[in-house]
Structure 1
């Protein structure tokens, strides 16, 4: 009788462990899309003779990355924005607040593509840009660009950063 009870206990223990493994597996895969963007975490810069641009990314939780970027010309801040990259279900959203633009209100772009390390977010309702793309061409670099139309003319602006931390 003791052997049967011991056998049942061991079987229950094995089943419980397998259940925990699956729940861990589900938790990891639940945010697989945002996992692909975690290479952004850290400090990035693009310094030229004319201007200095900086980006800083942190991880808030399993589903969210937070970014802050700004550009200086001399000692004047000419651009600054706060970004939230968040996975909600199967979708990833890039929400940006660009200070002194859009009445400091957030604008959200939805991830459309993520091919070969290139991540594209779109919002066709926004004036400019309608598309924001981030890529990681080499381990310690970011190539980002924004696209859209200005006065009926297609426009693309590139941003190149290198890791600074």
Structure 2
């Protein structure tokens, strides 16, 4: 009888562990994003830095710098709440410096993660595509002044 009780406790413990390990599985699918990314262009250097804050959240920072001038700065929170993966950028000088929430949409393409907010002025869609271990393409798109617009930013891992 004692062995049965011990076995039951072990089974319950293991099953609880398995559930907690899968708690943030949507975010974990994007763990390849963690690190330093860069795109050197004639107009300047675009960098994105991602760190894992905790099991449910990654923190990102995007900078676009021309020589010593910062032309664009963006702080990003990528977090999983329940089953939803949220991409939440805050861009200085836009949206009254308040964060904007984009929700991940279901993707049929492996290693592509699309986030949408149809109510946002521009962009309404943000996509990260893992090309391979050292390359990604970030794309923003939507309607801008009534016309469809899309911009892609290939980046290489540093």
Fold agreement, TM-score > 0.5: yes
Partner of 1:126: 120
Partner of 2:20: 27
Partner of 2:151: 157
- C-alpha distance in structure 2 between counterparts of 1:38 and 1:112, whole Å: 18
- C-alpha distance in structure 2 between counterparts of 1:52 and 1:155, whole Å: 22
Residue 75, structure 1, aligned to residue 68, structure 2: yes
* Cα RMSD, aligned residues only: 1.0
Superposed displacement of residue 48, structure 1: 2.5
Name the SS for the 1:87 alignment partner.
Answer: strand
The total of aligned residue pairs comes to 157
Structure with a larger share of its residues in helix: 1
Superposed displacement of residue 113, structure 1: 2.2
**1:110-146, Cα deviation, whole Å (9 max, x unpaired):** 0012331110000000000000000101111111100
- C-alpha distance in structure 2 between counterparts of 1:163 and 1:23, whole Å: 36
**Ranges of 4+ aligned residues in structure 1 off by more than 3 Å:** none
Alignment map for 1:1-165 (pairs within 5 Å):
8-114=1-107, 115-164=109-158
- C-alpha distance in structure 2 between counterparts of 1:109 and 1:50, whole Å: 28
Name the SS for the 1:137 alignment partner.
Answer: strand
Superposed displacement of residue 156, structure 1: 0.2
Report which of the two structures shows the higher radius of gyration computed on alpha carbons: 1
Q: TM-score, normalised by structure 1?
A: 0.92
Name the SS for the 1:23 alignment partner.
Answer: helix
**Which residues of structure 2 form unaligned runs of 5+?**
none
Partner of 1:5: none
- C-alpha distance in structure 2 between counterparts of 1:160 and 1:24, whole Å: 38
Q: TM-score, normalised by structure 2?
A: 0.95
Could you tell which deviates more after superposition, 82-91 or 41-50? 41-50
